[in-house]
A and B are shown apart, each in its own frame.
Chain A
Amino acid sequence: MSLTDTAPQARRRDLRIPLAAVLIVVALAAPLIGTRYVTHSLIIALIFMLPAHGLNLLVGYTGLLSLAQAAFFGIGAYTAGLLAVHLNTPFYVNLIAAGLVSGAIALPLGIPALRLRSTSFVMCTLGFVIIGQAISKNWISLTRGDMGLSGIPKPYFELGPLSFAISGTTSFYYLALAVCVIGTLIAWALVRSPAGRNMVAIRENETLAESLGVPTWRYKLIVFMLSAAFAGVGGCLYAHYLTVVSPLTFQMYYSTTMLIIVLGGGAGMISGTVLGSLLFVGLTEALRVAPELRMIAYGFCLLVLVFWFKKGLAPLINRFWNAIGGSK
């Protein structure tokens, strides 16, 4: 009897695999269909996607509101830029180094910061961005101050005897796409693991999680470092794409953009962050046709988000997911 009850449910087509196929085709074909400007907007969206994934682990899964992402984004960009300019290292070395350096610097910063309560923690992380900018402006022997590092080479690879460079916008798009897909898969694997469930437990009730044996302090510290590493990798892409890094990489506007991606897309949801970065970064790049009104429109978008989409786009994504036959 129970078999007949579930029968209509089972007969519904599972559209997840066709959807994934469509997404892959669209992602691969986008630069071929769209104009060069569309490709550029997509690259910027992809550059912001990784720091946003890191922030999502922090805000969405562990429940720590942080504005420090731009600081680690800048550290990653400078690490990659300095390595590429001075040592002429290949792209993948810079990428890994940017992630490692950002993650390592997050350790001494995270130890005092994570002891703070909510509002003080937000301000402390904002302070990292401000201080990072001051250091990059004034440590002239290393960063060349306000002039910034220029002439960062386009990414090149060295695999045995083979070496090739990525120079065009379209080929950079595929490189960024590949890095982002790997990053997204890592984030996805992390939140689906037992560690991801422990992070959610900390977000929901830290005291309870602690009493159930979750080492909350160590978790928060490691997630803070991981989010910094994600931001650093994003910074490396940024440095290689723009070929210039200036102290303006450390600006609160970038931190808030990443926060808007996460909260707008739906905190605590990997697909939300992916959609959010395409929507909120791709869209603002596209809005540059009306530069004077662009930021005003953006401000109104934020208010709409806060009042009408309290949980971001997550409920919409969930409804869509259920409609095409996906399960949780």
Chain B
Amino acid sequence: MFSTIIEQVINGIVTGSVYAIVAVGMTMIFGVLRAINFAHGEYYMLGTFGAWFAIDYLGLSYEASIVVAVLSTTVVAYVVGQLVMRRMVGAPAESGVLATLGIALILQNTVIFVFGGGYKFFAGGYIEPVSILGFSLAQQRIIILVVCLLVFIGLELMVTYSRLGMAMRAVSQNIQCCGVVGIDVPQVVLRTFVLGAALASLSGVLTAPVNVSVYGGMGELITFKTLPIIIMGGLGNVRGTFYAAMILGIAESLVATYIGLQFRDTVGFATLILMLMWRPHGLFSTQARF
């Protein structure tokens, strides 16, 4: 009984790590652009498809497919960023919703159009279980955990010390003043967006061996999972997003085991609505900013 709970919590932490890597990109994009990116899950899908394509069509190894997937998604994100996202600076919230929904439709349906809408089998990754302290865990899940920690340590350092990180914080605090002191706001938006999309695709590739199936509509589900996380973490808050993703991952895993699998996909928004009544500005932000 007790060990089942611990096992579910560990599974939840792995799921939370996957969500965290996707959500942190989304929350950073919100920070600089003030727009919810409804297309963010599609980059997760593109990453998975890139890796699947590299393994199935090009015959590459799983490690090489990670590189192919992240690079190809980065290229797509750069094009989308140049054509759409950097022009969204200062646009009203409604325009952001419509534009990102449009991008989501285009990306998702182009992939379905090219590769077909059916489920595909993902053949790469390390799915051998290993035993740690009496709990057996697939190697891939351990990789996900380690990568997630590295990504967040890296982001924390980047946001605090690097030029881009400082520019990002500046833009998220005051766009007008950034223009005054000579920060190229559209450029910061573009870089943040490409970084976020690359992280989402990385998350997609890492999760693919655990999920096994690959299909065109998978991005939408991830978008809906990460939306409550970024609000709960406090929009634009990197560390808060990490904690919120972990809470949600664990909650989902426990609900799926003890209440019913069919309620798993509702946990996020149900938690969100309850939380918003109590702390409308997010769990980990000291004051409401958006």
Question: Which of B30, B109, B228, B288 gathers the greatest number of chain A CB atoms within 10 Å?
Answer: B109
A299–B105 CB distance below 8 A: yes
Q: Is A118 an interface residue (CB 8 A)?
A: yes
B269–A259 CB distance below 8 A: no
B266 — which chain A residues lie within 8 A by C-beta? 130-131, 134
Q: Is A164 an interface residue (CB 8 A)?
A: no
Interface residues on A, range: 35 or more
Q: Is B165 an interface residue (CB 8 A)?
A: no
Give chain B nearest CB distance to A222 CB in angstroms. 21
Question: Interface readout for B268-290 with A: 1 if CB under 8 Å, 0 if not?
Answer: 11101100110011000000101
Q: Is A112 an interface residue (CB 8 A)?
A: yes
Interface residues on B, range: 35 or more
Nearest B residue to A260, CB-CB: B98
Give chain A nearest CB distance to B45 CB in angstroms. 15
Given A65-B93, A130-B224, A137:B102 Cβ within 8 A: no
Partner of B272, one of A59, A127, A259: A127
A138 — which chain B residues lie within 8 A by C-beta? 260, 262-263
Question: When chains A and B are docked, how far (Å) is the Cα of A256 from the Cα of B39?
Answer: 13
A119–B109 CB distance below 8 A: no
Q: Is B184 an interface residue (CB 8 A)?
A: no
Q: Is B63 an interface residue (CB 8 A)?
A: no
A127–B269 CB distance below 8 A: yes
Q: Is the interface of B mostly helix, strand, loop or mixed?
A: helix
A299–B103 CB distance below 8 A: yes
Given A127-B272, A259-B97, A307-B87, A120:B231 Cβ within 8 A: yes
A256 — which chain B residues lie within 8 A by C-beta? 97, 101
Q: Is B265 an interface residue (CB 8 A)?
A: yes
Nearest A residue to B277, CB-CB: A112
B102–A65 CB distance below 8 A: no
Give chain A nearest CB distance to B272 CB in angstroms. 6
Nearest B residue to A256, CB-CB: B101
Give chain B nearest CB distance to A209 CB in angstroms. 19
Question: When chains A and B are docked, how far (Å) is the Cα of A292 from the Cα of B98?
Answer: 21
Nearest A residue to B91, CB-CB: A306
Question: When chains A and B are docked, how far (Å) is the Cα of A303 from the Cα of B98?
Answer: 7
A310–B95 CB distance below 8 A: yes
Nearest B residue to A263, CB-CB: B94
Partner of A115, one of B30, B98, B228, B280: B280
Q: Is A320 an interface residue (CB 8 A)?
A: no
Question: Interface readout for B83-114 with A: 1 if CB under 8 Å, 0 if not?
Answer: 01001000101110111011111101110110
Give chain A nearest CB distance to B289 CB in angstroms. 9
Partner of B98, one of A127, A134, A305: A305
Give chain B nearest CB distance to A123 CB in angstroms. 5
A13 — which chain B residues lie within 8 A by C-beta? none
B113–A296 CB distance below 8 A: yes
B95 — which chain A residues lie within 8 A by C-beta? 306, 310
Query: Please, could you name 8 A-B residue pairs with CB atoms under 8 Å apart, sorted by A?
Result: A112-B276, A112-B277, A115-B280, A117-B288, A120-B280, A122-B97, A126-B227, A301-B102
Closest 6 CB pairs of A and B: A302-B102, A299-B105, A127-B269, A299-B106, A134-B266, A295-B109
Q: Residues of B with Cβ closer than 8 Å to A?
A: 30, 36, 84, 87, 91, 93-95, 97-99, 101-106, 108-110, 112-113, 224, 227-228, 231, 235, 260, 262-263, 265-266, 268-270, 272-273, 276-277, 280-281, 288, 290
